[in-house]
Amino acid sequence: MSKSFNIIKTNTSNPKVWVVIGVSVVGFVVLAETLRRRRNPKLNGRVDFGAFLERFELIPFPQPPPPAARQPLAGLKFAIKDVFDVKGYVTGFGSPDWKRDHHEADRTAVVVTLLLKNGATCIGKTVLDEFAFGITGENKHYGTPVNPQMPSHIPGGSSSGSAVAVAAQLVDFALGTDTIGCVRVPASFCGILGYRPSHGTVSMIGVLPNSQSLDTVGLLARNASILHRVGHVLLQLNAVEPRRARRLIFADDIFQLSKVPKLKTIHVISKAIESLSG
């Protein structure tokens, strides 16, 4: 008995033993949490993957009569992060306390109105990190939306509900806000496309601010075609015919630190450019 005790005493004084114990404990905790998420019916059985806070329908503005062109976003459905004002609804900021202490909005956010004017239909507001202070997409009040690609993993945030709604094919596209990655992070976690326009190019009127010097309305979509269509409307670009490029210039010195031979890199990029330009 004393011999066994001495062996244990000797080994426990070794720092490597404690490192192994620590790593083992962390491994068990991670494994247990993963299994809990997979088995928890509150996570996997939630309606609409837990993406929505409120469901409603904002129908688009009337279509112009023929022979006028069809509105560019006609037939598309979208969701909005709970930071965008909608007339008659309280903008909750992902917090029941905030929602309880504020009144219904008296007007709809400019960017939401713009999408409605171009034929899209809004079907509800989505979950976010409380006050948009977070990057994981978790919300202790409303629950964490389930990542459709990896149910045992977090969806990323703060625009988690918008990303999940798109990834789960509940909507064609969704709006979020991107301050330090709040659209791009959940897009990458959920396996969809996320776009952050340059600061100030999309109106923030009617959108609750997090950091006004960084906040930007962001866009989430499953495919590049819809991202392009909606982005064209958000950025209010004129429809122009694509022009055939006569000459393209790229800085080959940016590849000087790459392990791939420079000539091979240039060849691959040149072929890609030729293919894209026709």
pLDDT tens, residue by residue, 79-105: 999 999 999 999 999 999 999 999 999
Same domain, residue pair 120 and 183: yes
Sheet of 52-58, strands arranged across: 52-58, 121-126, 77-81, 173-178, 216-221, 193-195
Same domain, residue pair 198 and 85: yes
pLDDT over 70 (residue 168): yes
The answer to whether residues 148 and 190 touch, using CB atoms and an 8 Å cutoff, is yes
pLDDT over 60 (residue 9): no
Same domain, residue pair 196 and 252: no
Same domain, residue pair 260 and 145: no
Percentage of the chain beyond pLDDT 70 is: 81
pLDDT of residue 62: 92
Give 169-223 pLDDT, tens digit per residue.
999 999 999 999 999 999 999 999 999 999 999 999 999 999 999 999 999 999 9
- d(Cα 219, Cα 195) in Å, to the nearest integer? 5
Distance, CA of 154 to chain centre: 12
In a domain, 103, yes or no: yes
- State the DSSP code for 84: B
pLDDT of residue 248: 72
Same domain, residue pair 158 and 262: no
